[in-house]
Amino acid sequence: GQQLNQSPQSMFIQEGEDVSMNCTSSSIFNTWLWYKQEPGEGPVLLIALYKAGELTSNGRLTAQFGITRKDSFLNISASIPSDVGIYFCAAHNAGNMLTFGGGTRLMVKP
């Protein structure tokens, strides 16, 4: 199936730095989601975005639903070691299956 283009594929940053990752698509979606997956676990929903232009925060995480409805970004401020994991974007339209990005592997150096 169609896959979202997620970048970067991996990031190795210093604790305390801010992180930014994004997803783009050639198709329009009505819902964008961001998940985090830690080793040996399933993806956990972090933020859900339902409206174009919407900016939503969850603690140190902020995500935006692009105005064109073809992209989304996730920012993490002041990273800490427990932010380590793989971050997935996903998107869908009502009644349709989720389409996933390839994931961004985040590594944080204490």
Binding region for other proteins (CB under 8 A): 1, 3, 31, 33, 35, 40-45, 48, 88, 90, 92-98, 100-103
CA distance 106 to 18: 12
- The position carrying tokens 């800490």 is 80
Supply 10's token pair: 């991996």
- Which residue, 85 or 103, has its beta carbon nearer to other proteins? 103
CB of 36 to other proteins, least distance (A): 11
What tokens does 44 get?
């956990």
Is the Cβ of residue 79 or residue 99 nearer to other proteins in the bound state?
A: 99
Q: Which is nearer to other proteins, 42 or 110 (CB)?
A: 42
Q: How far is the CB of 52 from other proteins (least distance, A)?
A: 17
What's the gap between Cα 79 and its chain centre? 15
Which among 18, 17, 16, 20 is positioned nearest to 8, based on CA atoms?
Answer: 20
